């Protein structure tokens, strides 16, 4: 009566024979339990101009989040994560498989998922999390499990390192039936959700700040021109990735593999994300981008000023 028939709370209260405050509580409960989902359709003008600019430049569906001037990177991420959480929740349908790459950004997004049962859905971890210091299970596992719990979905963890020590070890593990089972689920993902990992900045990616790479590895990556990663697959700003030695040992899907998933959602906030995000866009890894307005403008400006050109996804 309130949302579809446009009746007032007073009119509903009279019809039901209850108080207006009771009607207000029922409507509030409907929103909190997910029975009612409120979304905002952006106008074709105003802030949407930045979205259109990103679409023209990179061919992505961009959801640009206005953030007040002077906001910190942490505050930007929080507001972008809120929008991303609600968008992803709205895209979940019965039978949908959601692939998640763990990390600081995705952890923030998962906190803002709107809980509701989605029958037959599944959440699968896209990249391994173990490293020489820790198993990675408490950190990555908590993110994946929280997302699955939000939708009452089946959960598929990926019990492998973020990076193997040897490419041959990865090749052997990829032949194991237990690992192949998870890889098969990953390949059926309808939505991939990931951030653009930055090597530097106040919100440096967990990959570079938590013992996943040695000092020698980091030195080598900088020499190779690596600016960040997507799903722990390392990228240059021009979008190239295939000739980076460490990627032969990485366990996340590379841009070519991501391209098989229909919706690939990248969430980014903060100036440090511009270079890795540019690499991800040029590699063809992204279909949907959720980003704060300041970072979006910086991204378009960096691309306009002649940073390295678009690389083929088949590089």
Contact 237, 225 (CB under 8 A): yes
The answer to whether position 216 is within a domain reads yes
Do residues 83 and 6 both lie within one domain? Answer: no
How far from each other are the two terminal CA atoms of the chain, in whole angstroms? 56
| DSSP string covering 3-72 | SSS---HHHHHHHHTS-HHHHHHHHHHHHHTTSS-------SSTTHHHHHHHHHHH--EEEEE---TT--
Question: Per residue in 208-249, pLDDT tens?
Answer: 766 788 888 888 999 999 999 999 999 999 999 999 999 999
Phi, psi of 169 (to 5 degrees): -65, -40
Residue 162 or 135, more confident: 162
Contact 295, 248 (CB under 8 A): no
Do residues 134 and 206 both lie within one domain? Answer: yes
The answer to whether position 279 is within a domain reads yes
Do residues 107 and 135 both lie within one domain? Answer: yes
Question: Per residue in 12-22, pLDDT tens?
Answer: 999 899 999 99
The answer to whether position 267 is within a domain reads yes
For residue 13, the enclosing domain spans 1-36
Q: Name the DSSP class of 311.
A: P
Question: Per residue in 282-299, pLDDT tens?
Answer: 999 999 999 999 999 999
Do residues 241 and 202 both lie within one domain? Answer: yes
Do residues 106 and 252 both lie within one domain? Answer: yes
Per this entry, what is the length of the chain? 315
Do residues 159 and 26 both lie within one domain? Answer: no
Do residues 56 and 26 both lie within one domain? Answer: no
| Residue whose token pair is 């593999």 | 257
* CATH number, position 26: 1.10.10.60
Give the pLDDT confidence score for residue 212 in this predicted structure. 80
Do residues 190 and 72 both lie within one domain? Answer: yes
The answer to whether position 259 is within a domain reads yes
- pLDDT > 50? residue 309: no
Question: Per residue in 255-273, pLDDT tens?
Answer: 999 999 999 999 999 999 9
Cα distance between residue 197 and residue 218, in whole Å: 14
Cα distance between residue 212 and residue 199, in whole Å: 12
* CATH number, position 288: 3.40.50.1360
Do residues 176 and 73 both lie within one domain? Answer: yes
Do residues 3 and 105 both lie within one domain? Answer: no
Do residues 29 and 46 both lie within one domain? Answer: no
Do residues 3 and 70 both lie within one domain? Answer: no
Contact 229, 207 (CB under 8 A): yes
The answer to whether position 314 is within a domain reads no
**Which segments of the chain are extended strands (E)?**
61-65, 97-100, 122-125, 154-156, 191-195, 197-198, 226-230, 233-236, 263-268, 288-292
Helix axes 9-16, 20-32, angle to 10 degrees: 110
The answer to whether position 315 is within a domain reads no
Question: Per residue in 45-72, pLDDT tens?
Answer: 445 788 999 999 999 999 999 888 888 8
The answer to whether position 265 is within a domain reads yes
The answer to whether position 88 is within a domain reads yes
What's the pTM value of the predicted model, to 2 decimals? Answer: 0.82
Q: Count structural domains, the chain.
A: 2
| DSSP string covering 89-103 | HHH--TT-EEEE--S
């Amino acid at each position: 009566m309130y949302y579809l028939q446009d009746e007032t709370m007073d009119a509903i209260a009279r019809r039901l024979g209850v108080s207006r405050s009771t009607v207000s509580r029922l409507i509030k409960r409907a929103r909190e339990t997910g029975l009612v989902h409120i979304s905002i359709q952006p106008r074709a003008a105003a802030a949407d101009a930045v979205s259109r600019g990103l679409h023209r430049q990179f061919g992505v569906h961009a959801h640009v989040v206005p953030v007040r001037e002077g906001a910190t990177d942490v505050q930007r991420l929080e507001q972008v994560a809120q929008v991303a959480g609600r968008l992803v929740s709205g895209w979940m349908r019965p039978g949908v498989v959601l692939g998640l790459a763990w990390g600081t950004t995705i952890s923030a997004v998962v906190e803002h998922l709107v809980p509701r049962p989605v029958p037959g859905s599944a959440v699968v971890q896209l990249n391994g999390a173990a490293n020489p210091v820790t198993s990675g299970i408490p950190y990555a596992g908590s993110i994946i499990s929280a997302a699955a719990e939000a939708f009452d979905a089946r959960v598929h963890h990926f019990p492998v390192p973020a990076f193997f020590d040897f490419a041959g070890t990865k090749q052997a593990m990829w032949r194991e039936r237990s690992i192949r089972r998870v890889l098969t689920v990953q390949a059926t993902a309808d939505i991939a959700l990931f951030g653009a990992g930055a090597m530097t900045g106040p919100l440096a990616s967990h990959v570079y700040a938590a013992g996943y790479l040695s000092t020698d590895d980091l030195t080598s990556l900088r020499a190779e021109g690596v600016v960040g990663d997507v799903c722990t697959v390392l990228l240059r700003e021009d979008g190239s990735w295939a000739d980076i030695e460490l990627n032969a040992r990485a366990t996340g899907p590379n841009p070519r593999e991501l391209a098989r998933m229909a919706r690939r959602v990248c969430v980014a906030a903060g100036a440090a994300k511009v270079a890795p995000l540019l690499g991800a866009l040029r590699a063809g890894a992204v279909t949907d981008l959720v980003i704060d307005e300041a970072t979006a403008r910086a991204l378009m400006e960096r691309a306009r000023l002649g940073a390295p050109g678009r690389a083929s996804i088949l590089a």
